[in-house]
Structure 1
Amino acid sequence: MTPAPAPTPLSRFPRPARTAAAVAAALALLLTGCTAAAPDGSDGRIRLRFQSLAWQKESVDANKELVREWNASHPDIRVEYVQGSWDSVHDQLLTSFEGGEAPDVIHDASDDLADFAHGGHLADLRGLLSERLTSDIPRRSWETVTFGEGVYGVPFLQEPRVLIAEKGIIESSGVRVPTPEHPWSWEEFREVAKVLTAAMGKGRYAVAWPLREPVSATLNLGLSAGGRLFHRGGDGKVTIRFTEGDAVVPGTIHDQVNTDRTASPSTLGAGGSDALPGLFGGKYAMVPLGFSYRQQVVSQAPEGFEWMVLPAPAGPGGAVQGVSPQTLSIARDSPYKKEAAAFIDFLLRPANTVRLAKGDWMLPTGEKALADPSLRVAEHGWAIGTALARGLEPAPAQSVRGYPEWKDKVATPAYQEYYSGAIDREELEKRLVKDGNLVLARYQR
C-alpha cells in the first residue's frame, strides 16, 4: 500500500471478477452536482466532491460534521458533501464515470467495486494511503477490495448478522442463552425454536426470517457450517458445488418453516424492517438481521419493550460469517488523488471512524477503532457485535464472475421456492449447480 518497488502483500489476493451491470436506464439516475474536482478560478482552492451513501440521520450528521471539520482545518482543500443513495448507486456511478463527472471520493460497498475497478474507473490506492491506515485494517478486509494487483477501496464499516430477540421470552423459556464464544449450533437453534414456539402459543413463532433477498444471507451465514458453494480451480475458473456444508443453513430455514412450524412463512418475502412490528408485538421471539437494525429497534420499539442481541447460530467452524464492507474509493479521473486520499485518511482516523460506526450502528474494520471502549459496552448489544468481528470474512461470492446474474436469475428464485416448500432439496441443488454453472461458464471462456 505504501510506495515500494515490489508488489505489496495486498496485491497477492485472488482476482475478484468484474460484475455485470444493467445500465439501460442509468442516465436517468445520474445525480446532479457530481462533477470532478477542479480549482475555483476565483480563489485557487482545490475542491473535492465526496458522495456519501449515509442515510440514517445519525450517520448523515456524523459525515457532514466531519466534512465541516476538515474544511475548517484545510482552507485550501474544500470538500463538498454530496448525498447518494444505496438504491441507485451502481447505475448512477457507472453513468457518471462514463460521462467524466464522477465524484472524487466515493462511498460504496466492496461487492459493488469489481465492475468499476476492472473498468478502469477507480484509482489504485497503493502508494496513496498512509501506513497508519493500511496497517490498522486487517488483511482479510483488504482482500475484499483487491482486484488483480490493485487496491480500489478502503473497507471501513462492516456488520455481522445477529439475532434480535425479545428478552422476556428468551429468559423465561429456560433455553441456554448463547454467547459469541459459545453460540447455538444450527441443530441447537432448531431445537430452541421448538421450545420457544411451544411456550409462545398458537399463531406465534420463535423465528421470523425476512428473506426478500435470500442469497447473501444464506451464503454468508453458511460459512460457519463449512459452506462455500463457489470453488476456484487451478485454472482460475470457478464452479459451483453443493456440499453438506452448503445445505445446513437453507435446510434449517426450510425445516423451521415447513416441518417444525417454528418460523413464520409470511415473512419469507419481507424485508428486515417489515418483521420488526411482529417482534414488538410478541408474534416472533427472534429475527435474524444485520447488526445495524438495532437503530430501528431503539427508535421504533414501543415503550417497555425489552430486547437483546444474540449471536447468529454457527457450525463447527465457530461464529464465522461472510461480509462485504462499506468502502471509500477515489475516481481514477480525479485530478487530486493525493488530496482525496488525505481526506479519506482524515475520515478514518480511529476517533472519527468510531463516530461513523456509531452513526451507522455498524462496526469499524480498523482495529484501533474497534477497540474503543464505547463500542464494547453491553448497551444495545455493542459488545456482542465487537466480539463477533473477529469471525467476519470476505463474502464467498464476492470474486465470482457472473455472480450478479446467477444471484438474480438462478439463486434468488431457487432459494425462495425452497424456503416456501415449493421445491425440495434435490431441485434446489440442481438449479444452483446445473443452471448456475451454465451462467458462470459464459463469463469464464
Structure 2
Amino acid sequence: MRTRWILALVMGLLLTACSSDDGGSDGRITLRFQSLAWQQESVDANKELVREWNAAHRDVKVEYVQGSWDSVHDQLLTSFEGGEAPDIIHDASDDLADFAYGGYLADLSELLPARLKSDIPQRSWETTTFGDGIYGVPFLQEPRVLIANADWLKESGVRIPTPDNPWTWEEFRSIAKELSGDGRYGVAWPLKEPVSATLNLSLSTGGQMFHRGADGRVTVRFDAADEVVPRTVHDEVNTDGSASSTTLGMGGSDTLPGFFGGKYAMVPLGFSYRQQIVQQAPKGFDWQVLPAPAGADGLAQGVSPQTLSVAEDSPYKKQAAEFIDFLLRPKNMVRLALGDWMLPTGTEALKDAALHTTKDDWATGTALAAHLRSAPAQSVRGYPEWKDKVATPAFQEYYSGAIGLDELRERLVEDGNLVLARYQR
C-alpha cells in the first residue's frame, strides 16, 4: 500500500508539473518580459507594445517586468542560477558572452523568422553570435558622436565635419586646441568608464586589441593602430591643455552643466544623450551633432547593441520568439528607437522618415549606421574581469598622466593575457 501511495503521489506531482508547462488553469501562457527601458518615452513605448500584443493574443499573455541597467548582470546571474529567469530578457550584447557560453540563453537560430533574420544586417548579428549559435536579437544601437556648441564653432571659423567629410583624429586634436583658451576647453572627455569608449572608437584607426588565433584562443595586443585614440585623449589633456582633466572621472551627464555653461566646446557622447540635452539645455542654447573623427578605417566604430534574448530554461521559447518578432516589426522598432533616442538595427526601420530629420540631428546619426561594427570585446570570455581589474585602472592612470604609453601597453597586454588565459583552459 505504501509503495502504491508514493507512486500515486509522484505521478500526481508529474501531472501537475506538466499542466503548469501548458500555462495557467485557463490554458493561457504567461511570458515574463524583463525590460531595461528607463527613459519615460521608452518605458511608455515598451508598455504600449506589450498592451497591443496582449490585446491580439488571448492565449499568450506578456507580463512587463521592470529591470535596471545598473544591476542587470548580477540580477540575471542570480535568477538563472535560481531557475527564476524571465522568459524574454532585455540586455546589451557585450553582457551576453558568459551567459551564452554558460548555457543560460537559448540559441535562437531556429526560432527566429526569416523576415527578422534578413532585416538585421550580418554585422549586427555578429554582436550576438557566440560559437555556432545566436543568443540575442540586436535591435537598438547608438554611435558615439561629438555634441558641439554650434555658436562656438561658428564663431571660431573651423571647418564643420559631416559624415561625408569628417575630421581626422589629427584634425580633431588640432581643432580642439584651437577652440581652447581663457579657461575654456575645446573638448571634455567623460571617461569614468573609459574602456568601451576607447576600444569602440579605435576601430576607426584599425585598432582591434583582441586577436583570436587559429586555436581559438584570444590574446591582447596593443599595436600602433590601438594607440591613436588613447594617445589623442592623453595629449589633449596633458600636452595641449585642450581637454579638461576634471571630466575624466565623470559620466556623460556630469559634463552637461559645464557644456551648457560654455566651458567646453565639444563633448563625445552616445547619440541618445540628445534627449537629455533637449530637456536640460537653457533656452537659446544652440547645439549640433558631429560625427566622431575618422581614421584609417574611416568612420568605423564599435557598438554593443541592446538585445532581446530568451532564457534557456523557458518552457515557452517558441512563443517568446514570436513576441520578439512582433516587438521588432519595422514600425515597432522605429517606436522603440524614437523612445530611446537611438538607432534601430533593422534596415527597413532605418528608412523611416522620422529618423532622417534635421530636427535634433537624427539624420546625422542615421548616416553613421552603416559604419557601426561589433565591438572588439563582444565574444571575449573574461572581458568583464579584464575591463574591471586591468583596463579601467590602466586607462584612467594613462589619461590622467600618471603613467606613460609603455606602461599602459605592458599592463593591458601582460596583465590582460593572464586574466584571459584563465577563461580559455
1:13-32 deviation per Cα after TM superposition (whole angstroms, max 9, x unaligned): xxxxxxxxxxxxxxxxxxxx
Instruction: Give 1:98's aligned amino acid.
Output: E
Matched, 1:104 2:87: yes
1:39 is aligned to: 23
Larger radius of gyration: 2
2:284 is aligned to: 304
Distance across 1 between alignment mates of 2:156 and 2:22: 63
Instruction: Give 1:40's aligned amino acid.
Output: G
Matched, 1:292 2:272: yes
Aligned with residue 92 of structure 1, among 75, 81, 99: 75
Displacement of 1:334: 1.2
Conserved 8 A contact 2:97-2:381 = no
Distance across 1 between alignment mates of 2:326 and 2:384: 33
Conserved 8 A contact 1:38-1:47 = no
1:303-325 deviation per Cα after TM superposition (whole angstroms, max 9, x unaligned): 11110000011102111100111
Matched, 1:186 2:169: yes
1:210 is aligned to: 190
Instruction: Give 1:393's aligned amino acid.
Output: R
Matched, 1:320 2:303: no
Distance across 1 between alignment mates of 2:227 and 2:418: 21
1:215-261 deviation per Cα after TM superposition (whole angstroms, max 9, x unaligned): 00000000101111111111111122211111100000000001000
Displacement of 1:99: 1.3
Displacement of 1:150: 1.2
Conserved 8 A contact 1:237-1:444 = yes
1:114 is aligned to: 97
Distance across 2 between alignment mates of 1:431 and 1:320: 26
Distance across 2 between alignment mates of 1:162 and 1:68: 34
1:164 is aligned to: 147
Aligned with residue 41 of structure 2, among 34, 43, 58: 58
Instruction: Give 1:105's aligned amino acid.
Output: I
2:32 is aligned to: 49
Distance across 2 between alignment mates of 1:237 and 1:176: 45
Cα-Cα RMSD: 1.1
TM-score, with structure 2 as normaliser: 0.94
Counterparts of 1:329-368 in structure 2 under 5 Å?
329-368=309-348
1:144 is aligned to: 127
Displacement of 1:192: 0.5
Displacement of 1:96: 1.0
Aligned with residue 375 of structure 2, among 375, 395, 398: 395
Distance across 2 between alignment mates of 1:69 and 1:173: 51
Number of aligned residue pairs: give it: 406
1:403-444 deviation per Cα after TM superposition (whole angstroms, max 9, x unaligned): 111111111111101100111111111111121122222222
Aligned with residue 430 of structure 1, among 404, 410, 413: 410
Distance across 1 between alignment mates of 2:414 and 2:284: 51
Displacement of 1:73: 1.0
Which structure 2 residue ranges, 5 or more long, are not aligned? Answer: 1-19
Instruction: Give 1:320's aligned amino acid.
Output: A
1:239 is aligned to: 219
Aligned with residue 419 of structure 2, among 430, 433, 439: 439
Instruction: Give 1:439's aligned amino acid.
Output: V
Displacement of 1:37: 7.8
Distance across 2 between alignment mates of 1:172 and 1:38: 67
Displacement of 1:40: 2.1
Distance across 2 between alignment mates of 1:442 and 1:93: 23
1:149-197 deviation per Cα after TM superposition (whole angstroms, max 9, x unaligned): 1111100000000001111001111111001111110000011011111
SS at structure 2 position matched to 1:135 = helix
Q: 1:197–1:66: structure 2 CA closer, same or farther, 3 Å change rule? A: same
SS at structure 1 position matched to 2:241 = coil
Distance across 2 between alignment mates of 1:333 and 1:436: 33
1:260 is aligned to: 240
Distance across 1 between alignment mates of 2:123 and 2:164: 21
Matched, 1:408 2:392: no
1:82 is aligned to: 65
Instruction: Give 1:353's aligned amino acid.
Output: M
Matched, 1:224 2:194: no
Instruction: Give 1:343's aligned amino acid.
Output: F
Matched, 1:68 2:51: yes
Counterparts of 1:118-137 in structure 2 under 5 Å?
118-137=101-120
SS at structure 1 position matched to 2:179 = helix
Distance across 1 between alignment mates of 2:77 and 2:263: 43
Conserved 8 A contact 1:37-1:103 = no
Aligned with residue 351 of structure 2, among 340, 348, 371: 371
SS at structure 2 position matched to 1:288 = strand
Counterparts of 1:23-34 in structure 2 under 5 Å?
none
Distance across 2 between alignment mates of 1:193 and 1:133: 42
Conserved 8 A contact 1:37-1:48 = no
Instruction: Give 2:390's aligned amino acid.
Output: V
Conserved 8 A contact 1:37-1:47 = no
SS at structure 2 position matched to 1:328 = strand
1:283 is aligned to: 263
Conserved 8 A contact 1:130-1:345 = yes
Conserved 8 A contact 1:224-1:319 = yes
Conserved 8 A contact 1:364-1:370 = yes
1:29 is aligned to: none
SS at structure 2 position matched to 1:87 = coil
Displacement of 1:38: 6.3
Conserved 8 A contact 2:87-2:310 = yes
TM-score, with structure 1 as normaliser: 0.90
Distance across 1 between alignment mates of 2:375 and 2:394: 20
Instruction: Give 1:158's aligned amino acid.
Output: Q
Conserved 8 A contact 1:410-1:435 = yes
